Chains A and B, each alone.
Chain A
Amino acid sequence: MKLVIPSIHYLAILPVLIFFGAALALVLASALARGKVPLGVATLTVIAAAAASIVANYFQWRCVAKAGASVTIAHAVVLDDFSVVASGVIALSVIMTALVAHDWAIRERVSGVEFHILALASASGALLMTQANDLIVIFLGLEILSIGLYVLVAFDRHRSTSSEAALKYFLLGGFASAIFIYGAALVYGATGSTNLSTISYFLGTNVLLHPGLLYAGGALLLVGFAFKIAAVPFHLWSPDVYQGAPTPVTGLMASIVKVGAFAALIRVLISALGTQLDTWRPILWILIVLTTLVGASLAVVQRNVKRMLAYSSINHAGFILLGVWAGTIRGTAATLFYVITYAPIVVATFAIVTLIGGVGDEHHSIERYQGLARRQPWLGAALAVLLLSQLGAPLTTGFYAKFAVLASVVDAGGGALALIALISAAIAAFFYLRWAMALYSDDGPEADRIVVPRATAVVIGFGVAVTLVFGIWPGPLVTLAQHATVLFTP
């Protein structure tokens, strides 16, 4: 038997290679270098790798503009504008997280470069998911992404909650992966392939007389994804993990996992199973209603801001799912627009939470924020803007993100669903506002001034700038998201 090496279009997988290469380089450097690799070097490596990946994205974009979307490595990996934009967002989130984690590591006296290595490796998994055109590749990306995160969540060795969260995440994540791969196997059984394009072609040209196997497989895939994006009722891990994980890691999880998982989910549901729209839509409908309402309602009763943000991110996941539910180009563009705008906001929010958490990363009760804006007006105002953006107030990107997904849903005939989601946003407004109100309350505790390190300040400033600038002038981002989905092959 002769082994056939499939042709590889290296530009297509360049970002993944850069990320993974940088991770390996750091591993080697820390093993070979005499003494420890300084933290600054590791942070710079991560930033350089992510920046290089963004440059690679630029060339990919030009390549797609010239030659159109293409598949490579035996049709398993796809290069299109959708993957390019999603990769760019992931790289950006990684840069932001690296900066926050740098200041965090100095404060917590974490030496060593493991954090950065794991972040890079994890992100390469997320990148792979955005480009996957095969269920097996999605699974690979999912695993690479998750294994890094399991360790990162446990990174705070001084806190037992961190290890507890990691164990919980690991066990449940393991189950979810198993369910996902079982779903992939069933879909393979039903269609004869794990390749998304082939599945799509098969389902487009054949009528399944006994679609039970396909449905079961699709449902299991959906469960796997629902776990990763923390959709209700598969969300139970998320508050504990968000709370237990070191805060910069929580920010990373909230951003890159969402981008990667939603990109892959769109490819599976819309590219591969687009013909089965009428079958998966009702399931997604229920999932969205539960996710938005439960996420918003449970957030209201939390006193710990990290748990609150966990439920808030569940609520956001419900909103992002709306764009998927629409099942149209407009919906896909809206989903992409949502994750583009959500990622910087959520990383910046967690950057502030990291700062307020203080040494030991333990002060996350909402009382801690009382009067913050009175003591430190700029920091307080930045957090207020980020919260208003998450709430969906106009003049922030949060508004247009919600507007885009709701528009796509109403366009696809889901007025009731859109209304339910929007009412959940009103419930969610309650806890964002309560937090914002705490910032401006008079009776704050006598707390020390919080020193904002430079790198973290850059991240917060960037998050606020993105949400305000594109909140006033969303045109460029909308066009980007629109353009990225035009060549998308449904």
Chain B
Amino acid sequence: MHSSWWLTFLLVVPLVGAIGAALTRKREGRAYAVAIAASVLELALSLVVAFLYNDHVAKAQTFDFATRHVLSAPFGLAYDVAIDGISLLMVVLTALTVLLALLGARDRRQEPAFVAWLLLLTCFTMGSFLSHDLLEFFIFFELTLIPCYFIISQWGGKERSKAALKFFIYTFTGSAFLLIGILYLAFAHQHQLPGSALTFSYSALSATAMSHGTAVWLFIAFAIAFAVKAPIWPLHTWSPLTYAEAPTAGSIEMSALLAKLGTYGLLRFAVGLFPLALVSMRPVILTLAVIGILYGSMLACTTPDLKRFVAYSSLAQMGFITLGVMSGSTIATVGAVLLMFNHGVITIGFFLIIGFIEKRRGSILIKDFKGLQGPAPIMAALFTVVMLASIGLPGLSGFVSEYLILIGTFATHSWWAVVATFGVVAAALYLLWAYQRVFHGKAEGANAEMADATTHEQWVLVPVILLIVVLGVFPKPVLDRITPSVQQLIHHVAPAGVNK
């Protein structure tokens, strides 16, 4: 068992960075320097935690770095942090995302408020992934809305007010269900143990006995909140507008990272706490996931602009993650957790490149582009790698995770896996077609004069490409850390013998 101070530092560093950045004057890039320093430190810390992480600490528990301090007993409010292999990966992704988002948003370096909001968002997201207490998780989960709201509404595109409001109201409404569900569960737990204090501790609440009906209702309440966040079809309608209107760094944070809060929550809380509900709810959510895969792929083919394109392709990818999370198979769940990370990295790549193009051309409409390959070969090459990873080409990261999800799901729910496999084909279709329209052909006019990626831009994308290749070839260290935690979760959820 390692000291929980590591996790506290993970929370404090971006917070201090945000305050520091906000306090600097608008002098050339000082806030930006503070923010970069904070996020580099954060990434370093998260890597140290990843190396220190020990997957069998206490008996049958894979949670390390744990601590719990009750802050207000009548409210059951506590500071309770711990990580297992699943959250560990998300923690690394959080630190990585903010660093790359900041590096990609170098043209905003004179705006202290912008970088401060980004760091604050990182602190809150980190808090959600570190929380081992439902109330604490909820607080952080809700808090992430505020920086997002301000980032979109102040630095977004033309329809930013509408996008910001839509995003906020959607998520806020979703989390209403979550809060009531959490309260219901906590009181059910308290009433079972007369005289006990109100607690929202994950480990305590996961032992709550409940009837099948209660479990189903609570599962639905939790699932609504997480399905909005992820997004899972049909609660995705906020996402295309929001991703398209947000500034590039905001789109990166929301699709690469915050979307994972949805699937992470689904796995950790909805699945982890209500195993009884799974028998009846699994087919429902699996069906929604498969519909999301096909629907997202279809709309990605027809959408007119690049950011919406990534939004719809993300919807399809979130469908795959949901499929893995709900499959009940250890292999598929491991794949889903890995895909959460890989999809994060891939999306960062997509949005960075789209951001670079948007900066040059002031447009993200696919019809405005043609033959960019000619004037910008390096950018085209980088886009190709990211795209191929997203398609799931063997040897790149996307393949490993999708493959795990599909074989795992096939073992437990074969028909859903069969239909979902068409999603892989569809991904190749929409990605290659979009690539063709944007990069192929003969460039004319403004397209012909577009500058290629600068050295800075190339360097920002290097970590993305590296991760895509390395995790495609050698995912073992990551899988080793995820697997015990997933095994334990699946074991807790399903009676022995059902696992495959």
Could you list which residues of chain A lie within 8 angstroms of chain B, going by C-beta atoms? Answer: 333, 388, 393-395, 399-400, 403-404, 406-407, 410-411, 415, 418-419, 422-423, 425-426, 429-430, 433-434, 437, 440-441, 473-475, 478-479, 482
* Interface of A, helix, strand, loop or mixed by DSSP: helix
**Contacting residue for A422 out of B74, B150, B154, B180, CB 8 A:** B180
A441–B165 CA distance with the chains assembled, in angstroms: 14
Given A394-B143, A395-B143; A426-B176 close (CB under 8 Å): yes
* CB interface residues, B 67-81, toward A, < 8 Å: 71-72, 74-75, 77
Interface size on B, residues (CB 8 A): 30
Q: Is B414 an interface residue (CB 8 A)?
A: no
Q: Is B177 an interface residue (CB 8 A)?
A: yes
**Contacting residue for A423 out of B72, B164, B165, B176, CB 8 A:** B176
Q: Is B169 an interface residue (CB 8 A)?
A: yes
Ranked nearest first, the 7 interchain pairs of A and B with the lowest CB-CB distance are: A422-B176, A410-B183, A426-B173, A394-B139, A475-B72, A426-B172, A411-B187
Contacts of A423 in B (CB 8 A): 173, 176
Name 21 A/B residue pairs within 8 A (Cβ), A-sorted.
A388-B146, A393-B143, A403-B179, A406-B179, A407-B183, A407-B198, A415-B184, A418-B183, A423-B176, A426-B169, A426-B173, A429-B169, A430-B169, A433-B149, A437-B153, A437-B164, A440-B153, A440-B154, A473-B71, A474-B75, A475-B71
A479–B77 CA distance with the chains assembled, in angstroms: 12
Q: Is B303 an interface residue (CB 8 A)?
A: no
Given A394-B139, A394-B142, A433-B168; A407-B176 close (CB under 8 Å): no
Shortest beta-carbon distance from B242 to chain A in Å: 14
Contacts of B149 in A (CB 8 A): 433
B153 x A393 contact (CB < 8 A): no
A429–B177 CA distance with the chains assembled, in angstroms: 16
A433 x B187 contact (CB < 8 A): no
B153 x A406 contact (CB < 8 A): no
Contacts of B183 in A (CB 8 A): 406-407, 410-411, 418
Shortest beta-carbon distance from A248 to chain B in Å: 30
Could you list which residues of chain B lie within 8 angstroms of chain A, going by C-beta atoms? Answer: 71-72, 74-75, 77, 139-140, 142-143, 145-146, 149-150, 153-154, 161, 164-165, 168-169, 172-173, 176-177, 179-180, 183-184, 187, 198
A418 x B180 contact (CB < 8 A): yes
Contacts of A411 in B (CB 8 A): 183, 187
Given A394-B142, A415-B180; A403-B187 close (CB under 8 Å): no
Contacts of A434 in B (CB 8 A): 165
Shortest beta-carbon distance from B326 to chain A in Å: 24
Contacts of B161 in A (CB 8 A): 437, 441
A91–B463 CA distance with the chains assembled, in angstroms: 60
**Contacting residue for A425 out of B140, B153, B165, B176, CB 8 A:** B176
Contacts of B168 in A (CB 8 A): 429, 433
Contacts of A430 in B (CB 8 A): 165, 169
Shortest beta-carbon distance from A485 to chain B in Å: 10
Contacts of A388 in B (CB 8 A): 146
Other contacts beyond A394-B142, A441-B161: 18, CB < 8 A: A394-B139, A400-B75, A406-B179, A410-B183, A411-B187, A422-B180, A429-B169, A433-B168, A437-B153, A437-B164, A440-B153, A440-B154, A474-B77, A475-B72, A475-B77, A478-B72, A478-B74, A482-B74
A406 x B143 contact (CB < 8 A): no
B74 x A440 contact (CB < 8 A): no
A407–B150 CA distance with the chains assembled, in angstroms: 29
A415–B177 CA distance with the chains assembled, in angstroms: 10
Shortest beta-carbon distance from A469 to chain B in Å: 14
Contacts of B139 in A (CB 8 A): 394-395, 399
B169 x A407 contact (CB < 8 A): no
A488–B462 CA distance with the chains assembled, in angstroms: 66
Contacts of A415 in B (CB 8 A): 180, 184
A364–B173 CA distance with the chains assembled, in angstroms: 29
Contacts of B173 in A (CB 8 A): 423, 426
Contacts of B143 in A (CB 8 A): 393-395
The closest CB in chain A to the CB of B187 belongs to: A411
Shortest beta-carbon distance from A30 to chain B in Å: 47
Shortest beta-carbon distance from B87 to chain A in Å: 20
Contacts of B74 in A (CB 8 A): 333, 478-479, 482
**Contacting residue for B180 out of A333, A419, A437, A475, CB 8 A:** A419
**Contacting residue for B146 out of A393, A407, A410, A441, CB 8 A:** A393
The closest CB in chain B to the CB of A423 belongs to: B176
Given A426-B169, A426-B173, A474-B77; A406-B180 close (CB under 8 Å): yes
A403–B183 CA distance with the chains assembled, in angstroms: 9
Shortest beta-carbon distance from A47 to chain B in Å: 32
A400–B77 CA distance with the chains assembled, in angstroms: 10
Shortest beta-carbon distance from A137 to chain B in Å: 31
Shortest beta-carbon distance from A366 to chain B in Å: 13
Shortest beta-carbon distance from A399 to chain B in Å: 7
Of B146, B180, B184, chain A has the most CB atoms within 10 Å of the CB of B180
The closest CB in chain B to the CB of A425 belongs to: B176
Given A437-B161, A474-B75, A478-B75; A410-B153 close (CB under 8 Å): no
Contacts of B153 in A (CB 8 A): 437, 440
Contacts of B72 in A (CB 8 A): 474-475, 478-479
A473–B77 CA distance with the chains assembled, in angstroms: 10
A404–B77 CA distance with the chains assembled, in angstroms: 11
A78–B168 CA distance with the chains assembled, in angstroms: 46
Shortest beta-carbon distance from B93 to chain A in Å: 23
B75 x A419 contact (CB < 8 A): no
Contacts of B145 in A (CB 8 A): 393
Shortest beta-carbon distance from B146 to chain A in Å: 6
A394–B74 CA distance with the chains assembled, in angstroms: 17
Of B75, B146, B149, B154, chain A has the most CB atoms within 10 Å of the CB of B75
Shortest beta-carbon distance from A236 to chain B in Å: 27
Shortest beta-carbon distance from A357 to chain B in Å: 25
Shortest beta-carbon distance from B269 to chain A in Å: 17
Contacts of A410 in B (CB 8 A): 180, 183-184, 187
Contacts of B184 in A (CB 8 A): 410, 415
Given A437-B164, A474-B75; A393-B179 close (CB under 8 Å): no
Contacts of A407 in B (CB 8 A): 75, 183, 187, 198
A394–B179 CA distance with the chains assembled, in angstroms: 12
A440–B114 CA distance with the chains assembled, in angstroms: 13
Contacts of A429 in B (CB 8 A): 168-169, 172
Shortest beta-carbon distance from B424 to chain A in Å: 37
A388–B147 CA distance with the chains assembled, in angstroms: 12
Shortest beta-carbon distance from A372 to chain B in Å: 14
A236–B143 CA distance with the chains assembled, in angstroms: 35
Contacts of A399 in B (CB 8 A): 139, 142
A423–B169 CA distance with the chains assembled, in angstroms: 10
B165 x A403 contact (CB < 8 A): no
The closest CB in chain B to the CB of A384 belongs to: B150
Shortest beta-carbon distance from B151 to chain A in Å: 11
Contacts of B180 in A (CB 8 A): 406, 410, 415, 418-419, 422
B179 x A422 contact (CB < 8 A): yes
Contacts of A482 in B (CB 8 A): 74
The closest CB in chain B to the CB of A393 belongs to: B146
A393–B142 CA distance with the chains assembled, in angstroms: 7
A273–B164 CA distance with the chains assembled, in angstroms: 47
A482–B76 CA distance with the chains assembled, in angstroms: 13
Contacts of B165 in A (CB 8 A): 430, 433-434, 437
The closest CB in chain A to the CB of B218 belongs to: A415
A207–B50 CA distance with the chains assembled, in angstroms: 68
The closest CB in chain B to the CB of A413 belongs to: B187
